[in-house]
Amino acid sequence: MPHITNIRPLHDRIIVERLEQGEQLIGGIIIPDSAKEKPQQGTVIAAGSGTITKGKRVPLDVKAGDRILFGKYSGQEIRLDGKDVFILKEDDVLAVIEGRPASPQQKKK
């Protein structure tokens, strides 16, 4: 079975690991189970090298480690290393979440 670290997506595709429900925060608000129709969050595990346009390679805007929002019905779900991951095209990414909300321990200081 291939390991996630041994997989390199082609062209404009990325491999994303979905965040757990408790990890999905937007502005410090936990997304409830009742909001499942809304976009999902995940972390980019690997990204392709980009598309070729007019003979030149155009790199992707996302990179490994980025936290992203993607549509609920985006991409193809596969299982690697016992984890469910998605292979998406970069066009399926709705946004990159920059920065992370402060944890409760950091807020107390």
Q: Which of the listed CATH numbers 3.40.50.300, 2.60.120.10, 2.30.33.40, 3.40.50.1950 matches domain 4-98?
A: 2.30.33.40
Q: Centre a 10 Å sphere on the Cβ of residue 23 and count the other Cβ atoms it contains.
A: 13
The answer, yes or no, to whether residue 104 has pLDDT greater than 70, is no
Three-state DSSP class for residue 72: coil
Three-state DSSP class for residue 34: helix
Give the global pTM: 0.69
Task: Quickly tell me which residue has 């299982």 as its tokens.
Answer: 79
Domain ranges of the chain: 4-98
Q: At 92, which amino acid appears? A: D
**Residue 109 has what pLDDT?**
46
Task: Quickly tell me which residue has 């404009």 as its tokens.
Answer: 12
Q: What is the CA radius of gyration of the chain?
A: 15
The band of 108, judged by pLDDT with boundaries at 50, 70 and 90, is: very low
> Per residue in 20-74, pLDDT tens?
655 455 566 665 655 544 458 889 999 998 888 898 988 888 998 999 998 878 8
Specify whether the CB–CB gap between 64 and 98 falls below 8 A: no
